[in-house]
């Protein structure tokens, strides 16, 4: 064989290897986009499954504390009606009964709920909501990065030729939030 045939054969083999490499790169980047989108959906699903349970617990705590506050207010009102100059044993008995019920209810509640501060529960709820939203935001950023890599992978030369000849993949849209964009006056001229 002549050297020119070997050179041509080497160029053909090299071209074939480059095409396969580009082809596989496009497929890999497309799969990364799909995986990143699945991660976004997973984070949203996690948020949507977690938050209602947290809100339900917070609501139950709030209802309990509102009931305790109402009972305390009723007890204070009943105590305010007691007259120090005129003994009223029936009124005193009613106040004592209300006191016992309030203390017994709080004792049971303290055993069931060691920390009865709804404000801290709501702070924890807000922290969890914020963390869940941060996770979704991070997943969206990863998705958009993978979309950019994929779109670049099918747009640059010579990848654009391999894509046009063999794959015919279309560019993927990045995630956009129209509400967030509406908050900016600046629009890049790209």
Segments forming the whole domain that contains residue 70 = 3-169
Where b means 16+ CB within 10 Å and e means fewer, 56-68 reads: eebeebeebbeee
The answer to whether 54 and 128 have CB atoms below 8 angstroms apart is: yes
pLDDT computed for residue 106 by the predictor: 59
Long-range contacts of 67-73 (CB under 8 A, 24+ apart): 68/102, 68/105, 68/106, 68/109, 68/116, 71/98, 71/101, 71/102, 71/105, 72/102
pLDDT computed for residue 86 by the predictor: 64
The answer to whether 79 and 94 have CB atoms below 8 angstroms apart is: no
Q: What is the chain's mean pLDDT, rounded?
A: 78
Residue 179 lies inside a defined structural domain of this protein? no
Residue 30 lies inside a defined structural domain of this protein? yes
pLDDT computed for residue 100 by the predictor: 67
- Dmax (CA) of the chain: 127
Residue 131 lies inside a defined structural domain of this protein? yes
Residue 63 lies inside a defined structural domain of this protein? yes
Q: What is the pLDDT of residues 32-58, one digit of tens each?
A: 988 888 888 877 777 777 767 777 776
Kindly indicate the confidence band of residue 103, based on its pLDDT and cuts at 50, 70 and 90: low
The pLDDT of residue 8 is above 80: yes
Total number of domains in the chain: 1
Show Cβ contacts of residue 108 under 8 Å, excluding neighbours closer than 6 positions: none
Residue 70 lies inside a defined structural domain of this protein? yes
Report the SS3 class of residue 21.
helix
79 membership: H or E segment, kind and range: helix 3-80
Residue 137 lies inside a defined structural domain of this protein? yes
pLDDT computed for residue 16 by the predictor: 94
Residue 60 lies inside a defined structural domain of this protein? yes
Domain holding 41: CATH number?
1.10.287
Residue 13 lies inside a defined structural domain of this protein? yes
């Amino acid at each position: 064989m002549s050297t020119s045939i070997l050179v041509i054969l080497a160029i053909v083999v090299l071209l074939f290897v480059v095409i396969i490499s580009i082809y596989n790169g496009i497929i890999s980047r497309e799969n990364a986009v799909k995986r990143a989108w699945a991660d976004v959906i997973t984070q949203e699903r996690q948020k949507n499954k977690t938050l209602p349970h947290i809100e339900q617990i917070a609501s139950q705590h709030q209802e309990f504390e509102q009931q305790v506050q109402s009972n305390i207010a009723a007890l204070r009102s009943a105590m305010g009606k007691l007259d120090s100059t005129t003994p009223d044993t029936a009124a005193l008995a009613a106040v004592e009964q209300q006191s016992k019920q309030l203390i017994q209810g709080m004792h049971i509640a303290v055993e069931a709920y060691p920390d009865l501060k709804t404000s801290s529960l709501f702070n924890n709820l807000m922290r969890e909501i914020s963390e869940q939203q941060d996770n979704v935001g991070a997943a969206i950023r990863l998705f958009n990065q993978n979309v950019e890599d994929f779109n670049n992978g099918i747009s640059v030369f010579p990848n654009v030729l391999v894509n046009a000849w063999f794959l015919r993949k279309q560019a993927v849209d990045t995630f956009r939030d129209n509400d967030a964009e509406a908050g900016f006056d600046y629009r890049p001229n790209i």
